[in-house]
Amino acid sequence: MMRTDIYEKVSLFKMEKIKPNYKEISRRFDCDARTVKRYYEGGIKERKKQIKPSKLDDYKDVIESKLDLGVSAMAIYKFIQKDGYQGRYTILREYAKKLKMEKTKRATVRVETNPGLSAQVDWKEDFSIHTKGGERITFQIFLMVLGYSRYKYLEPTLTRDQKVLFSAMSKAFENLNGIPKEIWFDNMKTVVDQPKTQYSQVSFNQNFYYFSKDIGFHPIACRPYRPQTKGKVEALARLTERLRVYDYEIDGYEDIFKLVKDFQDEINSERSQATDYPPTKLLNKEKEHLNPLPTKDILNSYQQELIARKVSAEAMVTYGKVKYSVSPKYINQIVHLEVLDDILHIYYNDLEIRKHPISTNKFNYEPNDLKEILKSDVFKTKSDEEIENYIEGNLKVYDNF
């Protein structure tokens, strides 16, 4: 074993070009005088580290390919044993763990740095806020974050179904005037049929797969509990909590869209801690590297222009700060609104359930709806004739309310 203390001592003599007394130094350092002489004349010769061959060397290509398929280390171990592997399982397990960590780091760097390459998508689920009148409105917020610039796109919706996802993404691409090459998703049901685990490869939903091909991006499903690859969009989800300051400050559904879009502009103008720049400042550079948009027809085919509303406990939906009735059986259900030629059409699961002329009256009841509403509550003991007489005499009152 090398004695660095002896080497350091004789080095001082060499620097001064003085020949040392080998016996004297050997007594002080309790060693042989020949050792001192060898250190003085030859210095420390570092031994070359011998790299021993690993029993895994002949199987590394197989191991890596199987790991890419999501196969567990134990399954690979059993597989290569049949092909002659003589090593221990623990060696393979540690190698597989190291390989996975290296790939995760490479993926993280790729998502972090390359302009135009990646975006992350998720939802802020079931965000609730109250109107000035105390009505509770629960909605979803679609979230997209570009990897390089940290530019954020938000879209308020009432549901998280697949059509709504496609529509929100299409609007985001139109807003960016381009498409990231890769988009990273959590294992949401509208995207994957089978999530990626250590035992299985991800299986994308067929409709979603066709959507990604039509639009022109490569989807990537994040493995659960892998924060490195979806951290930016999760941070955005936490950031939306700043919207709670507007609780009891809005008038209705129409205010939510403006509220979320104003918030989007606000956070895109703030300096990012990660890049030290506001996202809007880096966005132009990122846009240069985005894929071009598909044709207008393809993009429009995925955009959903119907307006979603939740039917209130009064069996009413709100449009333009005015309330319109539907049957009480749709209370708490999500319906969609469409305005054509000053007529409000209301749909449930693509079936038209009611239509009303656009009105400035605060409350707008269809007589059959009002009859059902009254019969289900305070007038449940009254006859149909009594209810109809009441409605006939009071609809004008509602119109003037």
pLDDT at 284 over 60: yes
State what percent of residues in the chain have pLDDT above 70. 83
Q: Cα separation of 7 and 28, whole Å?
A: 13
pLDDT averaged over the chain? 83
Q: In the predicted model, what is the mean pLDDT of residues 267-274? A: 91
Task: Identify which has the larger pLDDT, 246 or 69.
Answer: 246
Identify the band that residue 229 occupies on the pLDDT scale cut at 50, 70 and 90.
Answer: low
Task: Give pLDDT tens digits for 86-133.
Answer: 899 999 899 988 887 777 666 555 555 688 989 999 999 999 999 998
Give the model's pLDDT for residue 19.
Answer: 80
**Joined tokens for residue 6:** 């002896």
pLDDT at 210 over 90: yes
Give the model's pLDDT for residue 223.
Answer: 62
Task: Give pLDDT tens digits for 285-328.
Answer: 999 999 999 999 998 888 876 688 889 888 999 988 899 999 98
Give the model's pLDDT for residue 377.
Answer: 62
Identify the band that residue 344 occupies on the pLDDT scale cut at 50, 70 and 90.
Answer: very high
pLDDT at 195 over 80: no
The answer to whether the CB of 199 falls within 8 A of the CB of 70 is yes
Contacting residues for 147 by C-beta, under 8 A, at least 6 apart: 111, 112, 113, 114, 117, 118, 119, 120, 180, 232
Q: In the predicted model, what is the mean pLDDT of residues 157-176? A: 92
Give the model's pLDDT for residue 44.
Answer: 47
Q: Which helix (H) or strand (E) holds 344?
A: strand 343-348
pLDDT at 16 over 70: no
Helix (H, G, I), strand (E, B) or coil at 324: strand
pLDDT at 198 over 50: no
Pairing of strands 218-221, 203-204: unpaired
Pairing of strands 218-221, 182-185: parallel
Q: In the predicted model, what is the mean pLDDT of residues 225-238? A: 72
Triad 18, 23, 25: Cα angle to 5°: 65
Task: Give pLDDT tens digits for 142-165.
Answer: 999 999 999 999 999 988 889 899
Length of the chain: 401
Give the model's pLDDT for residue 372.
Answer: 82
Give the model's pLDDT for residue 20.
Answer: 82
Give the model's pLDDT for residue 390.
Answer: 58
pLDDT at 370 over 90: no
